[in-house]
Chain A
Amino acid sequence: MRRVVRIAAYVPAGRSNEVPVAALDEDEFTLGATATERAWAAPREEPGAVVVHLVGDVPPAADWGYAALLGREVEVAHHGSGSGELVRALRELEEGPGGPALIVAAELPERTPERGAAKSTASGAAAVAYLLKSSEEPGPFPLPKGSARGSAVRTTLRLGEPSKEAARAVTLVGDWGGEPGNRRTIERKVPKRTVDGELSVTSEGAYVPRARYLENLPSRWRFIAEACSACRGTTFPARGVCRRCGRADALSPVHLPYDGGRVVAVTTVGKGGQPTEFDAQVEALGPYDVALVELARGMRVTLQVTDSVPGELEVGDRVNTMLRRLYPMEGEWRYGRKAVPAHPSRAPRKRN
């Protein structure tokens, strides 16, 4: 038996007429991944595979991406969209044999109008993740009445409104939207088409073979560094050898924090200054910021900045990080962490 111990949400910072809209570098996988990171408090006491039920359509990367994101073996199951499917997944997992499980529902109605229809377009882009853990008490999940219809994400978000029943059963984490002044938002136009065609790259991009991309995911997605017990040095990105003393036999993985990094340096890459694989992005969105960010233990990482006004970020600012699309290569999107300013926007400016 399992029960829900935590529910987290992620609502994109972009707004169009107050409706959340995703950025061009977001998709159902990145939305779900961000909600998942907020829900996931690594249940180390329960080894073994994590069961992940995905509600709604997801990009192909979701099939292997959750394993890389959690650093655990993952068994993925797919459900259709809508809150009926969410309830079905919940019942299935609650009655299952045990071990940690996740339900992730991500919706991008503005990108898929043929499926979303007018009603869910009005509710905007968002994702929720449910974390379930083994428990002998089958706690009934307090779904609102009539929840078997409509958007799975919206059904969950309604739980975020003060509800004693919900608060008893679960811990709510993340952005629930609609709370003025609570978080930064950016005015953004709804993309007219899906992005896959728009952000295609030329064949002349920097060639990072898929195998190298996958090999580096622990450092790229999870900020895994290596601590050396011989010299007390830290190496990031992890490379299997201590960059300080050169020993390879005294390393253990350490997880650098995703949030609260400090900007060591930042530049705004203008038209012509970008690598070719970012040509389509610059064409669609204009210049972008790239920051060198100090995470912890003096370890630094170079990250593109997103959900920001280019030129706004300054040395010394704090940033959080989120998984986002980088660019497509070899027929699939490459994903990596990008920095998001942690401070509220200095001056509200419009951005497409």
Chain B
Amino acid sequence: MGAGHTRFGVLDAGPRALIRSAVDAAFASVDRGAERGDVSEAFLATLGFGGHQIGNSSAALAEEAGLVGVPVTRVENACASGGFALRAAVGAIAAGSAPLTLVVGVEKMTDVSNARRRYWLGVSGDTEWERLAGLTFAGVYGLIAARYFAEHGDASDALAEVAVKNHENGALNPNAHFQKAVSRAEVRAAPRVARPLGLYDCCPVSDGAAALLLAPPEVAHRYTDTPVYVDGTGAGTDFLAVQERPELTRFRATQHAAHDAFRSAGWHRSDVSLLEVHDCFTIAELLALEDLGFAGPGEAPALTLSGATRRTGRLPVNPDGGLKAKGHPIGATGVSQAFEIFLQLRGQAGPRQVPWAEHALAHNVGGAGATAAVSLFSVG
């Protein structure tokens, strides 16, 4: 019934100010208005990047949101924290314990030293094997992309197209970290970070926050005539280190999450007309299309190159620019995806509005596929 978002990027604001801005915006977005006193439960999604209030940050949320006294639970599943927090809120509402629930995702990443930032970027991966071998997430996704190429052929064009498309979408999003289009040639000429992935295949390190207000349908109707419904959620886990998984090119956590979400919503894949997927690296968008069931194994590159996933295509993917262009403040990302869907399904996305969308999917991954959450939304 409400959603708020800060600018994503390199910001002056600290984590508390970011929380405040996103929560204020969420309250302001409620059509008939809502009071802080109406909220009976809250969830905070954050990694605590760089050591910002790494313990007990729920109390900080209560302070900044004007909710001191209200129970707040922090959810930490790395980059999937937001998706899992949303799922926890939906569960709390379904359990009848929370008539009005607030979900906030936040991360402040750019005010720490370069060395400290790179340390924190790796804390959600496998430390004892992958990191000791010299891998960061870029390296792990580099392995995944290399394996994908070995199994399905060189997909460099499709990876570049993901970057081009998401930058093009990001250019229309006033909240995006990068609001600049790039060409396929620029993407392919960029320095390699982890072969075959280059600089433009990687999402940036960003600050930002997003917030959602959720309520049971009968309550939500008191606040708005056009609520967005959460019809189903699902989540899954996998081994932390990719060396323990039988396959690199499928995220079983995503497959499991999607299976449960579609089953709980009673939807078919063909019902979905808009996707927000976790494209921390361009290869991740291709994997997501396949793992979520919108393309067969090895078919995501062709689907992407056909233009179907562009904002004007038959299945728009990441109209807000995705993590790639909008930015990826870790804890905020999953909540930000729901924010975009809230706008798109209500027709409030302005210049980046997709032509037609009634059913949307949000897909949020933690690390290199060790955790994943999927949520399904509809309107009307």
Contact = CB atoms under 8 A, between A and B. Distances in A.
A206 B119 contact: yes
B127 interface: yes
Given A269-B142, A290-B143, A302 B119 contact: no
A326 B194 contact: no
A56 to B, nearest CB: 28
Contacts of B128: 208, 212, 216
A274 B293 CA distance: 33
Interface in A186-203: 202
B195 A270 contact: yes
Contacts of A334: 132
A235 to B, nearest CB: 9
Contacts of B132: 206, 208, 326, 334, 336
B119 A301 contact: no
Contacts, number: 121
Contacts of A291: 143
Given A265-B143, A274-B136, A300 B118 contact: no
Contacts of A264: 147, 248
A205 interface: yes
A72 B150 CA distance: 41
Interface string A221-261: 00000000000000011000001000000000000000000
A269 B119 contact: no
Given A206-B131, A302-B242, A265 B194 contact: no
B64 interface: no
Looking at chain A, what size class is its interface with the partner chain? Answer: 35 or more
A52 B131 CA distance: 32
Given A270-B194, A334-B132, A290 B244 contact: no
B193 interface: yes
A209 to B, nearest CB: 10
A274 B134 contact: yes
B129 interface: yes
Listed residue (B134, B144, B244) with the most chain A CB atoms within 10 angstroms of its CB: B134
A279 B128 CA distance: 18
Given A292-B242, A302-B129, A302-B241, A268 B116 contact: no
Interface string A293-321: 00000101111100000010001100000
A120 interface: no
A276 B123 CA distance: 12
Given A208-B127, A216-B128, A275-B136, A265 B116 contact: no
Contacts of B185: none
Contacts of A298: 246
Contacts of A176: none
B135 interface: yes
A237 B127 CA distance: 13
Looking at chain B, what size class is its interface with the partner chain? Answer: 35 or more
Contact of B194 (A202, A212, A269): A269
Nearest to B246: A298
Contacts of A274: 134, 136, 139
A268 B119 contact: no
Interface string B189-230: 001111111000000000000000000000000000000000
A38 B197 CA distance: 38
Interface in B101-129: 113, 115-116, 118-119, 122-123, 127-129
Contact of A204 (B116, B129, B197): B116
A275 B242 contact: no
Listed residue (A204, A292, A315) with the most chain B CB atoms within 10 angstroms of its CB: A292
A276 B136 CA distance: 9
A96 interface: no
B142 A267 contact: yes
B95 interface: no
Nearest to B191: A270
Contacts of B193: 269-270, 272-273
Contacts of A326: 132
A216 B129 CA distance: 10
B306 interface: no
Contact of A276 (B115, B192, B197): B115
A315 B129 contact: no
Nearest to B112: A204
A52 to B, nearest CB: 26
A273 B131 contact: no
Contacts of B76: none
A204 B118 CA distance: 8
A305 to B, nearest CB: 9
Contact of A268 (B147, B195, B243): B195
A269 B244 contact: no
A243 B118 CA distance: 31
A94 B147 CA distance: 52
A274 B192 CA distance: 12
26 contacts: A204-B116, A204-B119, A205-B119, A206-B119, A207-B127, A264-B248, A265-B147, A265-B150, A266-B143, A267-B135, A267-B195, A268-B194, A268-B195, A269-B134, A269-B135, A269-B193, A270-B192, A270-B195, A272-B193, A273-B193, A274-B134, A274-B136, A279-B115, A292-B248, A302-B243, A336-B132
Given A204-B119, A268-B192, A301-B129, 20 more contacts: A204-B113, A205-B119, A206-B122, A208-B128, A265-B248, A267-B145, A268-B195, A270-B193, A272-B193, A273-B138, A273-B139, A281-B134, A290-B139, A292-B147, A302-B241, A302-B243, A311-B195, A315-B147, A334-B132, A336-B133
Interface of A: 202, 204-208, 212, 216, 236-237, 243, 264-276, 278-279, 281, 288, 290-292, 298, 300-304, 311, 315-316, 326, 334, 336
